Structure formats: structure tokens, C-alpha cells
Amino acid sequence: MAANATAVPQAYQAYTSAAVPDWLNKGDNAWQMTSATLVGLQSVPGLIILYGSIVKKKWAVNSAFMALYAFAAVVICWVIWAYKMSFGEKLLPFWGKAGPALGQKFLIKQAALPATVHHFHNGTVETAMATPYYPMASMVWFQCVFAAITVILLAGSLLGRMNIKAWMMFVPLWLTFSYTVGAFSLWGGGFLFHWGVIDYSGGYVIHLSSGIAGITAAYWVGPRSKADRERFPPNNVLLMLAVRAAVDGVAGFNGGDPYSANIDSSMAVLNTNICAATSLLVWTWLDVIFFDKPSVIGAVQGMITGLVCITPGAAK
């Protein structure tokens, strides 16, 4: 009876089914899929709601659809060619070889990145490969929602400016020729990765790249009409507050980047919420000091600013 009392329950033992190889950690895998789902929800419906409610009523549907289309387009482009351009075998110091990430053998094997391992002249490994305890399918999806939200963040600079047909062509082109370059260079084993540049959760690859691309795209597309620039009331302020879900999304964003459910992920989730709350309060008080009253839009902007600022160092 004593032996039975101390035995590990069958549900917690390894090899409980053919779908549980010896390297699979169910907790890490569950957390990684949860994190990816939270980031996905940050885009759909999170940013769809934000974009549809923060612009004028006449642009609401177009703005929301820009975000929805971008998410769907990135998912398809990602698994057909863009994942391996970002995390596959080296083609150039800043680019991986394009290829599909759809094969069963590829998706069910243990996750490993970067695919290209660099060695010193004496043959020793320069930077070790990360081998989390879950399948490539979880890694491909986790990195996919990062790529998708980067393009959707970029869309925020073009709301009310860009024709939807032009946007439909822009999304796969920018993903292919811009996002994959930054992702491979910093995360996928490119030259910046081996120079020791650290981007914990997208400070460079996501926020900096989408911000610079947004400014550049807005410049070339051109300004809105004079009447629209003089008066730009939001379509639905109350609905815009649903962007509060972005905090939970970025918690998955930052909490999933240690690639396991560990102490770093706990610190990242806590720090993300602290920074978002602090930035929201500071922005609100600055509105009171300089404009004599708080602003809902200012509070949301402050929260988002805090989320962006904490991303590169959330686990510290």
C-alpha cells in the first residue's frame, strides 16, 4: 500500500500515448500554445476592435478589415515560405532559405532554432541552439503570431490613408522582404545573432521595424485630407477600451519568449503588467497637469507605450 501511495499517477508519467515522446514537456508545450493564443487574440480581435473604433466612422470597416486581412495573409505566407526565411538554413548573413514549414516530419520533431549553427575556427559551437521541450508545430505558430502582429502594428500608421487593394499586395511583400530579414538577423542565426545582439521579445524585430516601416509608409502614401486632419473624432471610445486585452496579449508575448514555463516567464508577465499600469497612470496624470483633465485616449496610448517599452527587457 505504501508503494502504491507514492507511485506517480499514470496521467503524469511519460509515454502515456504515442503522441508523447520522451523529450516533450507537457507544461512547457501548454504554456507556449497558451502564449501564442494570447498574442493571436491581441491581434484578432484586439487590434481589429482598436482600429475600427479609434478612427472615424467612415473608415471603421476598412481599418478593421486591414488588420483581419493582414493576420490571415501572414499565417499562410508564414507556413509556405516565410518561417524558414526567418528561422531556417542560412542563405545570406541576414536571410534564411525560403521553404514550407508544413511537413509532418518537420512539425512533430523537437523544436530547435536557429537552424544554422555557427562554429569558431577551432570547431567549438559559437552560439548554442535552443531546443525547447515541445514540437516545431508550437514554435512555428508562436513565431507566426509575432510576425502577424508586426504587420498589423504597421497598419496603424496607414488607417484612413491606404486603399485596401494596395494593402493586400503590401502585406506579403513587406513580410517577405522586411520582417524576415530582421527576424533571421537577430533571432534566426543571422549576423546580429552571432554578434551577441539580444532582442528579448521583439524590441528590434517587431516594434522598431514596424515603427520605422509605419513612418516610411505613411510618408510615401501621403497625409490625410485637411478636413480629416483638423477633426478626427474616434468612432467608439468605449469599444476602444477593449484594447485593455492587449496587456494580456503582451503577457503571452513576453511570457512565452523564454520558450518554457520558468522563472523568466513569471518575471516577464509580472513586469509587463506593472509597466503597462505605470505608463497608463503617468500619461493620465500628465494629461491632468497639462490639459486640466484626464483623457481616455491618452490613457490607452500610455498603456500601449508602456507595453512597447517593457518588451525588450521584460524578464529582467
Query: Secondary structure of 161-193 in the HEC alphabet?
Result: CCCHHHHHHHHHHHHHHHHHHHHHHHCCCCHHH
- What pLDDT, on a 0 to 100 scale, did the predictor assign at position 230? 74
> Of the candidates 98, 205, 84, which has an alpha carbon nearest to the alpha carbon of residue 146?
205
CA angle 204, 206, 209 (to 5 degrees): 70
C-alpha cell, 282: 503617468
Backbone phi, then psi, for 315, in 5-degree steps?
-90, 5
Q: Which residues lie below 8 Å from residue 192, measured CB to CB, with a gap of 6+? A: 185, 186
Is residue 258 helix, strand or coil?
coil
Q: What is the mean pLDDT of residues 48-68?
A: 90
- Cα–Cα distance for residue pair 34/255, rounded to 1 Å: 10
Please name the residue that has the C-alpha cell 516567464. Answer: 265
Q: What is the mean pLDDT of residues 72-100?
A: 94
DSSP helix/strand/coil, 94: coil
Q: What is the pLDDT of residue 253?
A: 83
Count of alpha carbons within 13 angstroms of residue 215, beta-carbon side:
5
Which residue would you say has higher pLDDT here, 14 or 309?
309
What does the alpha-carbon distance between residue 284 and residue 286 come to, in Å, rounded to a whole number?
Answer: 5
**Least confident stretch, 19-33, 133-147, 204-218, 220-234:** 220-234
Which residues, other chains included, contact 31 with Cβ-Cβ below 8 Å and sequence gap of 6+? 255, 256, 260, 261, 265
Predicted TM-score of the model (pTM): 0.88
Angle at 297 between CA 292 and CA 301, to 5 degrees: 105
- Tell me how far apart the terminal alpha carbons of the chain are, to the nearest angstrom: 47
pLDDT exceeds cutoff 90 at 175 = yes
Quick check: 137 and 28 in contact, CB under 8 A?
Answer: no
- Helix spans in 88-163 (H): 104-108, 136-155
- Grid coordinates belonging to 14: 511519460
Separate counts of helices (H) and strands (E) for the chain: 16, 2
pLDDT band of residue 246 (cuts 50, 70, 90) is low
The conformation of residue 205, written as its DSSP 8-state character, comes to I
**Per-residue exposure over 169-178, b if at least 16 CB sit within 10 Å of its own CB, e if not:** ebbbebbeeb
State the average pLDDT for the chain: 87
Is pLDDT at 202 greater than 60 in this prediction? yes
How many other CB atoms are there within 10 angstroms of residue 58's CB atom? Answer: 10
| Residue 109, helix vs strand vs coil | coil
Are 235 and 57 spatial neighbours (Cβ–Cβ below 8 Å)? yes
What is the pLDDT averaged over residues 201-214? 91
Q: Which residues contact 241 (CB under 8 A, 6 or more apart)?
A: 296, 300
Tell me the sheet residues that pair with 90.
96
User: Do the Cβ atoms of 249 and 41 come closer than 8 Å?
Assistant: yes
**Does the structure show a pLDDT above 70 at 248?**
no
